[in-house]
Protein backbone atom coordinates (compact mmCIF):
# COMPACT_ATOMS: atom_id res chain seq x y z
CA UNK A 1 0.00 0.00 0.00
CA UNK A 2 1.11 3.57 -0.56
CA UNK A 3 0.08 7.18 -0.89
CA UNK A 4 1.02 8.76 -4.22
CA UNK A 5 1.81 12.48 -4.58
CA UNK A 6 1.71 14.24 -7.95
CA UNK A 7 4.62 16.70 -8.12
CA UNK A 8 4.31 19.89 -10.15
CA UNK A 9 7.41 21.71 -11.33
CA UNK A 10 8.05 24.86 -13.32
CA UNK A 11 11.19 26.40 -14.76
CA UNK A 12 13.36 23.64 -13.35
CA UNK A 13 12.08 23.83 -9.76
CA UNK A 14 9.71 21.61 -7.84
CA UNK A 15 6.84 23.79 -6.60
CA UNK A 16 6.75 24.45 -2.87
CA UNK A 17 3.04 23.59 -2.88
CA UNK A 18 3.93 20.09 -4.13
CA UNK A 19 6.44 19.68 -1.30
CA UNK A 20 3.65 20.72 1.09
CA UNK A 21 1.45 18.05 -0.53
CA UNK A 22 4.19 15.48 0.21
CA UNK A 23 4.32 16.59 3.86
CA UNK A 24 0.53 16.29 4.03
CA UNK A 25 0.71 12.80 2.51
CA UNK A 26 3.34 11.75 5.06
CA UNK A 27 1.15 12.92 7.96
CA UNK A 28 -1.87 11.21 6.36
CA UNK A 29 0.02 7.97 5.92
CA UNK A 30 1.21 8.05 9.52
CA UNK A 31 -2.29 8.79 10.82
CA UNK A 32 -4.06 6.07 8.82
CA UNK A 33 -1.17 3.59 8.33
CA UNK A 34 -1.31 3.87 4.53
CA UNK A 35 2.27 2.79 3.87
CA UNK A 36 5.00 4.43 1.84
CA UNK A 37 4.72 7.99 0.49
CA UNK A 38 5.76 7.90 -3.16
CA UNK A 39 5.91 10.98 -5.39
CA UNK A 40 5.60 11.03 -9.17
CA UNK A 41 7.19 13.70 -11.36
CA UNK A 42 6.64 13.99 -15.10
CA UNK A 43 8.89 15.55 -17.73
CA UNK A 44 12.39 17.00 -17.49
CA UNK A 45 13.44 17.92 -13.96
CA UNK A 46 16.81 17.52 -12.25
CA UNK A 47 17.65 14.88 -9.65
CA UNK A 48 18.72 17.66 -7.26
CA UNK A 49 15.25 19.16 -7.41
CA UNK A 50 13.54 15.79 -7.04
CA UNK A 51 15.66 14.99 -4.00
CA UNK A 52 13.78 17.77 -2.13
CA UNK A 53 10.91 15.27 -1.88
CA UNK A 54 12.90 13.29 0.76
CA UNK A 55 13.07 15.94 3.50
CA UNK A 56 9.42 16.80 2.75
CA UNK A 57 8.37 13.21 3.58
CA UNK A 58 8.55 10.96 0.49
CA UNK A 59 10.57 7.75 0.53
CA UNK A 60 10.65 7.39 -3.26
CA UNK A 61 10.19 9.51 -6.37
CA UNK A 62 9.10 7.89 -9.62
CA UNK A 63 10.38 10.07 -12.43
CA UNK A 64 8.87 9.68 -15.89
CA UNK A 65 11.33 11.80 -17.83
CA UNK A 66 9.54 11.59 -21.23
CA UNK A 67 10.15 15.03 -22.83
CA UNK A 68 6.64 14.97 -24.28
CA UNK A 69 5.35 15.39 -20.72
CA UNK A 70 7.24 18.66 -20.21
CA UNK A 71 4.38 20.95 -21.12
CA UNK A 72 1.82 19.75 -18.63
CA UNK A 73 -0.59 18.30 -21.17
CA UNK A 74 -3.46 17.44 -18.89
CA UNK A 75 -4.71 14.21 -20.51
CA UNK A 76 -1.21 12.77 -20.74
CA UNK A 77 -0.39 13.72 -17.15
CA UNK A 78 -3.63 12.15 -15.90
CA UNK A 79 -2.87 8.94 -17.82
CA UNK A 80 0.72 8.78 -16.54
CA UNK A 81 -0.29 9.39 -12.93
CA UNK A 82 -3.10 6.79 -13.19
CA UNK A 83 -0.61 4.20 -14.47
CA UNK A 84 1.84 4.94 -11.64
CA UNK A 85 -0.98 4.94 -9.06
CA UNK A 86 -1.92 1.40 -10.09
CA UNK A 87 1.72 0.28 -10.32
CA UNK A 88 2.50 1.37 -6.73
CA UNK A 89 -0.85 0.06 -5.43
CA UNK A 90 -1.83 3.38 -3.91
CA UNK A 91 -5.07 4.05 -2.04
CA UNK A 92 -4.86 7.85 -2.03
CA UNK A 93 -3.49 10.46 -4.39
CA UNK A 94 -2.41 13.77 -2.85
CA UNK A 95 -1.59 16.85 -4.91
CA UNK A 96 -1.43 20.61 -4.55
CA UNK A 97 -4.55 22.64 -5.36
CA UNK A 98 -3.67 24.55 -8.53
CA UNK A 99 -5.03 25.06 -12.03
CA UNK A 100 -3.02 22.13 -13.42
CA UNK A 101 -3.68 20.07 -10.28
CA UNK A 102 -7.44 20.63 -10.55
CA UNK A 103 -7.51 19.64 -14.22
CA UNK A 104 -5.41 16.51 -13.70
CA UNK A 105 -7.28 15.53 -10.52
CA UNK A 106 -10.69 15.73 -12.20
CA UNK A 107 -9.58 13.34 -14.95
CA UNK A 108 -7.95 11.03 -12.44
CA UNK A 109 -11.15 10.90 -10.38
CA UNK A 110 -12.84 9.36 -13.44
CA UNK A 111 -9.94 7.06 -14.34
CA UNK A 112 -9.54 5.73 -10.78
CA UNK A 113 -13.20 5.87 -9.77
CA UNK A 114 -12.04 8.02 -6.88
CA UNK A 115 -13.70 10.58 -4.63
CA UNK A 116 -12.03 13.98 -5.06
CA UNK A 117 -11.87 16.76 -2.49
CA UNK A 118 -10.18 20.04 -3.42
CA UNK A 119 -8.85 22.86 -1.21
CA UNK A 120 -8.23 20.48 1.69
CA UNK A 121 -6.96 22.19 4.85
CA UNK A 122 -6.65 19.37 7.40
CA UNK A 123 -6.06 15.66 7.71
CA UNK A 124 -9.31 13.66 7.38
CA UNK A 125 -11.37 12.92 10.46
CA UNK A 126 -11.95 9.17 10.43
CA UNK A 127 -13.79 8.78 13.72
CA UNK A 128 -16.94 7.96 11.75
CA UNK A 129 -16.35 7.58 8.03
CA UNK A 130 -13.80 9.68 6.14
CA UNK A 131 -14.59 13.36 6.63
CA UNK A 132 -12.41 15.94 4.90
CA UNK A 133 -12.38 19.65 5.79
CA UNK A 134 -11.96 22.03 2.89
CA UNK A 135 -11.87 25.77 2.44
CA UNK A 136 -14.75 27.39 0.53
CA UNK A 137 -15.95 30.90 -0.41
CA UNK A 138 -12.39 32.20 -0.90
CA UNK A 139 -11.35 31.08 2.56
CA UNK A 140 -14.25 32.61 4.47
CA UNK A 141 -15.86 29.29 5.42
CA UNK A 142 -15.13 25.59 5.67
CA UNK A 143 -17.09 22.60 4.44
CA UNK A 144 -16.80 18.98 5.51
CA UNK A 145 -17.05 16.38 2.78
CA UNK A 146 -17.57 12.66 3.33
CA UNK A 147 -15.58 10.47 0.95
CA UNK A 148 -17.05 6.99 0.51
CA UNK A 149 -14.94 5.65 -2.34
CA UNK A 150 -12.06 3.24 -1.90
CA UNK A 151 -9.68 5.43 -3.90
CA UNK A 152 -9.35 9.00 -2.73
CA UNK A 153 -7.87 12.17 -4.23
CA UNK A 154 -7.06 15.10 -1.95
CA UNK A 155 -5.93 18.45 -3.39
CA UNK A 156 -4.27 20.38 -0.58
CA UNK A 157 -4.61 24.15 -0.23
CA UNK A 158 -1.42 26.18 -0.33
CA UNK A 159 0.03 27.00 3.11
CA UNK A 160 -2.50 24.75 4.85
CA UNK A 161 0.20 22.40 6.14
CA UNK A 162 3.66 22.93 7.57
CA UNK A 163 6.41 21.83 5.23
CA UNK A 164 8.42 18.96 6.70
CA UNK A 165 12.16 19.33 6.27
CA UNK A 166 13.62 16.47 8.29
CA UNK A 167 12.83 13.38 6.20
CA UNK A 168 15.64 11.07 5.04
CA UNK A 169 17.11 11.01 1.53
CA UNK A 170 14.78 9.83 -1.21
CA UNK A 171 15.22 7.03 -3.77
CA UNK A 172 14.68 8.26 -7.34
CA UNK A 173 13.49 5.65 -9.84
CA UNK A 174 13.48 6.44 -13.57
CA UNK A 175 10.45 4.89 -15.26
CA UNK A 176 9.23 4.72 -18.86
CA UNK A 177 5.49 4.52 -19.52
CA UNK A 178 3.45 3.74 -22.61
CA UNK A 179 1.11 6.69 -22.95
CA UNK A 180 -1.33 6.51 -25.87
CA UNK A 181 -0.69 9.07 -28.64
CA UNK A 182 -4.32 10.20 -28.27
CA UNK A 183 -3.42 11.69 -24.88
CA UNK A 184 -1.05 14.07 -26.64
CA UNK A 185 -3.56 15.42 -29.18
CA UNK A 186 -3.29 18.87 -27.60
CA UNK A 187 0.21 20.21 -27.97
CA UNK A 188 1.65 23.38 -26.54
CA UNK A 189 4.01 24.85 -29.12
CA UNK A 190 5.27 27.77 -27.06
CA UNK A 191 4.60 29.54 -23.79
CA UNK A 192 5.33 33.17 -23.00
CA UNK A 193 5.48 34.56 -19.53
CA UNK A 194 3.96 38.04 -19.32
CA UNK A 195 6.87 39.29 -17.24
CA UNK A 196 10.09 38.01 -15.81
CA UNK A 197 8.73 38.68 -12.34
CA UNK A 198 7.59 36.20 -9.73
CA UNK A 199 4.10 34.92 -10.54
CA UNK A 200 1.51 36.40 -8.20
CA UNK A 201 -0.63 33.29 -7.50
CA UNK A 202 2.44 31.28 -6.53
CA UNK A 203 4.44 33.93 -4.68
CA UNK A 204 5.50 33.31 -1.12
CA UNK A 205 5.59 37.05 -0.43
CA UNK A 206 3.38 39.70 -2.06
CA UNK A 207 3.80 43.48 -1.86
CA UNK A 208 0.57 45.13 -2.95
CA UNK A 209 -0.33 48.79 -3.49
CA UNK A 210 -3.64 50.62 -3.52
CA UNK A 211 -4.97 54.05 -4.42
CA UNK A 212 -3.05 55.43 -1.45
CA UNK A 213 0.08 55.16 -3.64
CA UNK A 214 -1.35 58.17 -5.55
CA UNK A 215 -0.08 57.27 -9.01
CA UNK A 216 1.93 54.85 -11.17
CA UNK A 217 5.03 57.03 -10.86
CA UNK A 218 5.29 55.97 -7.19
CA UNK A 219 5.31 52.21 -7.87
CA UNK A 220 9.11 52.17 -7.91
CA UNK A 221 8.98 51.85 -4.12
CA UNK A 222 6.59 48.87 -4.25
CA UNK A 223 8.78 47.21 -6.89
CA UNK A 224 11.98 47.88 -5.00
CA UNK A 225 10.61 46.41 -1.77
CA UNK A 226 9.27 43.42 -3.74
CA UNK A 227 12.67 42.90 -5.39
CA UNK A 228 14.50 43.00 -2.05
CA UNK A 229 12.04 40.47 -0.56
CA UNK A 230 11.93 38.31 -3.71
CA UNK A 231 8.19 39.01 -3.73
CA UNK A 232 5.53 39.41 -6.40
CA UNK A 233 3.74 42.74 -6.78
CA UNK A 234 -0.05 43.09 -6.53
CA UNK A 235 -2.60 45.90 -6.42
CA UNK A 236 -6.20 46.75 -5.63
CA UNK A 237 -8.87 46.72 -8.33
CA UNK A 238 -9.17 50.49 -8.83
CA UNK A 239 -5.43 50.66 -9.37
CA UNK A 240 -5.61 48.26 -12.31
CA UNK A 241 -8.91 49.73 -13.53
CA UNK A 242 -7.31 53.15 -13.94
CA UNK A 243 -4.30 51.61 -15.62
CA UNK A 244 -1.65 52.28 -12.98
CA UNK A 245 -0.85 48.56 -12.97
CA UNK A 246 -1.63 45.61 -15.30
CA UNK A 247 -4.83 43.68 -14.70
CA UNK A 248 -3.02 40.44 -13.88
CA UNK A 249 -1.81 42.12 -10.65
CA UNK A 250 -5.32 42.86 -9.38
CA UNK A 251 -5.93 40.95 -6.16
CA UNK A 252 -9.36 40.21 -4.71
CA UNK A 253 -12.76 38.73 -5.25
CA UNK A 254 -12.74 39.59 -8.95
CA UNK A 255 -8.99 39.20 -9.39
CA UNK A 256 -6.22 36.86 -8.30
CA UNK A 257 -6.61 35.02 -5.00
CA UNK A 258 -3.33 34.74 -3.18
CA UNK A 259 -2.23 32.70 -0.17
CA UNK A 260 1.33 33.83 0.51
CA UNK A 261 3.28 33.47 3.72
CA UNK A 262 3.45 37.28 3.88
CA UNK A 263 1.11 39.86 2.29
CA UNK A 264 2.14 43.52 2.62
CA UNK A 265 -0.67 45.95 1.75
CA UNK A 266 0.34 49.56 1.21
CA UNK A 267 -2.29 52.29 0.87
CA UNK A 268 -5.14 49.79 0.45
CA UNK A 269 -8.31 50.41 2.49
CA UNK A 270 -9.19 46.73 2.94
CA UNK A 271 -12.61 46.59 1.32
CA UNK A 272 -14.32 43.23 1.68
CA UNK A 273 -13.80 42.48 -2.03
CA UNK A 274 -10.04 42.96 -1.67
CA UNK A 275 -9.90 40.88 1.54
CA UNK A 276 -11.63 38.01 -0.28
CA UNK A 277 -8.44 37.57 -2.29
CA UNK A 278 -5.96 37.76 0.58
CA UNK A 279 -7.57 36.22 3.64
CA UNK A 280 -5.71 32.93 3.20
CA UNK A 281 -2.38 34.72 3.69
CA UNK A 282 -0.40 33.47 6.69
CA UNK A 283 0.67 36.93 7.82
CA UNK A 284 -0.77 40.29 6.72
CA UNK A 285 1.08 43.57 7.25
CA UNK A 286 -0.89 46.75 6.56
CA UNK A 287 0.58 50.22 5.98
CA UNK A 288 -2.08 52.92 5.94
CA UNK A 289 -2.22 56.50 7.14
CA UNK A 290 -5.82 56.12 8.34
CA UNK A 291 -5.94 54.27 11.70
CA UNK A 292 -9.62 53.48 10.98
CA UNK A 293 -8.84 51.71 7.65
CA UNK A 294 -10.77 48.39 7.70
CA UNK A 295 -7.67 46.47 6.61
CA UNK A 296 -6.20 46.86 10.13
CA UNK A 297 -8.92 44.50 11.44
CA UNK A 298 -7.56 41.73 9.18
CA UNK A 299 -3.90 42.58 9.81
CA UNK A 300 -1.39 40.65 11.89
CA UNK A 301 0.82 43.75 11.99
CA UNK A 302 -0.23 47.31 11.22
CA UNK A 303 1.78 50.45 10.62
CA UNK A 304 -0.25 53.67 10.84
CA UNK A 305 1.56 56.27 8.77
CA UNK A 306 2.35 57.76 5.40
CA UNK A 307 3.49 55.14 2.88
CA UNK A 308 5.85 57.68 1.36
CA UNK A 309 7.75 57.92 4.65
CA UNK A 310 7.48 54.27 5.69
CA UNK A 311 8.36 52.50 2.42
CA UNK A 312 11.83 54.08 1.99
CA UNK A 313 12.67 53.17 5.61
CA UNK A 314 11.38 49.63 5.14
CA UNK A 315 13.41 49.19 1.94
CA UNK A 316 16.51 50.50 3.70
CA UNK A 317 15.94 48.13 6.63
CA UNK A 318 15.46 45.11 4.36
CA UNK A 319 18.59 46.02 2.38
CA UNK A 320 20.55 46.20 5.62
CA UNK A 321 19.62 42.60 6.50
P1 LIG B 1 -9.29 53.33 -1.56
O2 LIG B 1 -10.54 52.73 -1.03
O3 LIG B 1 -9.36 54.68 -2.16
O4 LIG B 1 -8.27 53.34 -0.34
C5 LIG B 1 -7.02 53.95 -0.37
C6 LIG B 1 -6.40 53.78 0.99
O7 LIG B 1 -5.11 54.34 0.98
C8 LIG B 1 -7.18 54.46 2.13
O9 LIG B 1 -7.39 53.52 3.18
C10 LIG B 1 -6.25 55.57 2.59
O11 LIG B 1 -6.32 55.79 3.99
C12 LIG B 1 -4.90 55.02 2.21
N13 LIG B 1 -3.91 56.07 1.95
C14 LIG B 1 -4.04 57.21 1.24
N15 LIG B 1 -2.90 57.90 1.18
C16 LIG B 1 -2.00 57.15 1.89
C17 LIG B 1 -0.62 57.32 2.19
N18 LIG B 1 0.08 58.39 1.77
N19 LIG B 1 -0.01 56.38 2.94
C20 LIG B 1 -0.69 55.29 3.41
N21 LIG B 1 -2.00 55.08 3.12
C22 LIG B 1 -2.63 55.99 2.38
N23 LIG B 1 -11.31 45.72 -5.00
C24 LIG B 1 -10.20 44.99 -5.00
O25 LIG B 1 -9.13 45.41 -4.55
N26 LIG B 1 -10.24 43.72 -5.53
C27 LIG B 1 -11.35 43.18 -6.06
O28 LIG B 1 -11.31 42.05 -6.53
C29 LIG B 1 -12.54 43.95 -6.06
N30 LIG B 1 -13.67 43.44 -6.56
C31 LIG B 1 -14.82 44.19 -6.49
C32 LIG B 1 -16.01 43.64 -6.93
C33 LIG B 1 -17.18 44.38 -6.83
C34 LIG B 1 -18.46 43.77 -7.31
C35 LIG B 1 -17.15 45.68 -6.28
C36 LIG B 1 -18.42 46.47 -6.16
C37 LIG B 1 -15.97 46.23 -5.86
C38 LIG B 1 -14.78 45.51 -5.95
N39 LIG B 1 -13.57 46.03 -5.52
C40 LIG B 1 -12.46 45.25 -5.51
C41 LIG B 1 -13.44 47.43 -5.09
C42 LIG B 1 -13.43 47.60 -3.59
O43 LIG B 1 -14.76 47.68 -3.12
C44 LIG B 1 -12.69 48.87 -3.16
O45 LIG B 1 -13.28 49.97 -3.80
C46 LIG B 1 -11.20 48.84 -3.53
O47 LIG B 1 -10.61 47.68 -3.03
C48 LIG B 1 -10.53 50.06 -2.93
O49 LIG B 1 -9.22 50.14 -3.42
P50 LIG B 1 -8.11 50.90 -2.59
O51 LIG B 1 -8.09 50.39 -1.21
O52 LIG B 1 -6.86 50.87 -3.38
O53 LIG B 1 -8.61 52.42 -2.64
Residue 315 known to bind ligand: no
Is 12 annotated among the ligand-binding residues? Answer: no
- Relative to beta strand 262-266, strand 205-209 is parallel
Ligand-binding site membership of 190 (annotated): no
* Beta carbon of 210 within 6 Å of any ligand 1 atom: yes
ipTM score here?
0.99
- Could you give the angle at which helices 74-87 and 99-112 cross, rounded to 10 degrees? 50
Count of beta carbons in the 10 Å neighbourhood of residue 159: 18
Say how many Å lie between the CA of residue 261 and the centre of ligand 1.
22
What confidence tens digit (pLDDT) does each residue in 20-74 have? 999 999 999 999 999 999 999 999 999 999 999 999 999 999 999 999 998 778 9
CB 82 within 8 A of CB 179: no
* CB of 236 shorter than 6 A to ligand 1: yes
Contact assessment for residue 236 and residue 211, using Cβ atoms and an 8 Å cutoff: yes
Q: Pick the atom of ligand 1 nearest to 253's CA.
A: 28
CA of 158 to the centre of ligand 1 (A): 25
Burial of 168 (0-12, 13-18, 19+ CB in 10 A): exposed
Q: Is the CB of residue 23 below 6 angstroms from any atom belonging to ligand 1? A: no
Per-residue model confidence (pLDDT) at position 241: 95
CA distance 101 to 156: 10
> How far does the centroid of ligand 1 lie from the alpha carbon of residue 314, in Å?
22
Residues 6+ apart with CB under 8 A from 287: 264, 265, 266, 267, 302, 303, 305, 307, 310, 311
What stretches of the chain adopt beta strand conformation (E)? 2-7, 9-10, 13-14, 36-42, 60-64, 90-96, 115-120, 131-136, 141-146, 152-156, 171-174, 205-209, 232-235, 262-266, 283-288, 301-304
Going by CA atoms, what residue is nearest to atom 31 of ligand 1?
Answer: 273
Contacting residues for 79 by C-beta, under 8 A, at least 6 apart: 111, 179, 180, 183
- Sequence-separated (6 or more) residues with CB below 8 Å from residue 190: none
Residues of the chain falling short of pLDDT 50: none
Query: In 3D, which of 62, 78, 141, 80 has the Cα closest to residue 114?
Result: 78
Total-model pTM: 0.74
What is the spatial distance between Cα 319 and Cα 314, in angstroms, rounded to a whole number? 9
What 3-state class would DSSP assign to 118? strand
Amino acid sequence: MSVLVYIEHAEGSVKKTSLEAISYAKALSEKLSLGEVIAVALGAISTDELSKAGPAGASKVIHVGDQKLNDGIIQAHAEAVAQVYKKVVASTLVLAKSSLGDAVAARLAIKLDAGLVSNVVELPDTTSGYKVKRSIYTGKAFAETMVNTENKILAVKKNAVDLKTDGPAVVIEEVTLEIPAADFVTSITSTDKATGEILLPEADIVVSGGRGMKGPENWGMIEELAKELEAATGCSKPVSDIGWRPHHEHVGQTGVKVAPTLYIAVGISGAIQHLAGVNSSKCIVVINKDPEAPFFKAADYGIVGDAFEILPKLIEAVKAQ
